[in-house]
Every structure is written in structure tokens, then in C-alpha cells.
Structure 1
Amino acid sequence: MPAHREPPMAAQSISLILNGEERRLDVLPWTTTLDLLREQLGLVGSKKGCDHGQCGACTVLLDGRRVNACLLLAVMLDGRRLTTIEGLARGEQLHPMQAAFIRHDAFQCGYCTPGQICSAVALAHEPAPSDRADLRERMSGNLCRCGAYPNILDAIEEALPASRLEEL
């Protein structure tokens, strides 16, 4: 007797606002947001670091809040607003946080930078950090293997006031 096989799962249709643009996409139920962005949409700014939600290299903004794209299933994006590093700038005008990272040389290899910036942009819309130690703690979900932390913190501290004025 032949083994019983389940029919292949069908893709699900989702609708979302991606980097300010309305999109309708078909995604398989097991596809992560990170894989959707990188493999299907060609948005490779978000990086696959640990693929377990521990390094923050894949951090994106979901309805203005920071999330790890490697842990979020793409089907959960339906009806939501997703912003990636590619969606922060306004044309040629960098987001204040992006510009501050450049001014403060807040990167070395750059692998973690998109996640660091997205996390810092979300942080700008949370209650203000009480001091540098609090800022460091709030950014602790984003690891930098090169150790550029002092420059990252300098950039964030400088850009927080201007970033609060930016719409997410």
C-alpha cells in the first residue's frame, strides 16, 4: 500500500506596506520575513547572522517596532507596515541615524550595521534612555563582532533627537 502523502501547501497571499509601498505577495507558510526580503524581494540589507534571533543582524521595523526578521514568519506581515534599512532614506536624503553612523564611523565590516541602525531608529521612538548604560542595554540585542560599540553609541546619542522627528 502506498504511503499517504499530504498535498503540498499552497502559498498564502498577504498584503503589506513595505518601505512605504503597498505590496501584495504570495508566500509559503514557513517562509521567514528575512528569507522573503533577501531571496524573493532582493532586499539584502538585512543580514542573516545567527538565524536564531540572537545577533540582531536581521533587525527590521514592524509597525515601527524592532523585530528579528529571522524569527518572524512572512504570513504574519499581512496588513502590517514593514520598514527595512532600504526604506529609511528619503530618496538621496539619508535618515538622521544613517548619517550619524557615517559621521561617527560606527561600523567596521558593516555586517551588523543595517540591524543596528533599524534598532536605533525604533529606540528613538521609545522612552528616552536614562544614560549611556541604559542605551547600551537597550541595544544589547544587536551584536557587533568588530567591537565598534563606542562609535555606535556615539552615533545613536547624536541622532536620537533628530530621529524622533522622523516618521516610521
Structure 2
Amino acid sequence: MAESLRSTVQLLKTFDGTSSKLDSFINQIDTFYARYYTNDQSQQEYVLLAIKSKIIGEAEDFILTRPDLISWDQIKIALQQKFSDPITRCNLQQQLIFLVRNKNEPCLDYIQRLKSINTQINTKICTEVQNLEARNILIKQNELTATQNLLANISKKKKTS
């Protein structure tokens, strides 16, 4: 288990305070924490040190000023309060629903914008929704909305071209 733990730590991505990357970082660390945080005191210490080592830059500066943060749950809440993206999942879903391809916008640029919003929503779903079945349903609904938007915008541009 120890070798597996060390190998996994090396694969974890870092978080530097960029709001758009916080939800992905938290999802990754939640999975890591659930798998490796055991009753073994030394492993608990290692897991928390490993998590803290993945917090860099502005986020690390913030965490260093907070010695009161001694658990992953406390660190996670503090990071969310300080660095979370102010755009809610509901706002992103509205953006997705009403996203239109701009006049003379290349199709690939429009698709990239669509994919970006779709990814942001799915990441927020994974962070906010704990029930796996509900999470999967919401992600499928989001994918359907994105597909409908794509079809509506691509076919509309074809007709006017």
C-alpha cells in the first residue's frame, strides 16, 4: 500500500489558486483522501502532507497563513471560500442553454466554447452532488442540453450560409 500511495501522490495535480481549477482539484483530492486516509496515524500524517504539497503559489501562501487548518475538510472549505469560482452551476446551465454561435464564428471555436461550459458544469456537479446516481443523471441531462444546443446552432448556421 505504501508504494501505491507514493505513486499516486506523484500523479496528483497541483492547485495554484486558479478559480477555474479548484473544483477539479477538490474532486481529485477527495478521491485520493477517501482511498488512502486510514486509521494508521503515520499514514494520516503522510496523506495530509501530500495534499498540502499539491497546494502551490497563491493558494499555498493562503494556507500558510492558516495554521488552524489541520484536516482536509477544513482546508477544502477554506480553499472554496477563498478561491471558488463565483459562477454557480445554475448560471452556467443558463449560459449553456442560451449559447449561440456568433455570426462568422468558426464552427470549431463555437464547439470549444460549448465544451468549456459543459466541462465546467460537469465539474461543479461532481463537486456539489454526493449521490452517485443523482450525479450521473445530472451529467446525462447536461450532455443532452449541450447536444441539443450544438444541433440547433450548427443546423441554423448551415441554413443561413
* TM-score computed with the length of structure 2 as normaliser: 0.25
Which structure dedicates a bigger proportion of its chain to strand? 1
- Larger-Rg structure: 2
* TM-score computed with the length of structure 1 as normaliser: 0.24
Which structure dedicates a bigger proportion of its chain to helix? 2
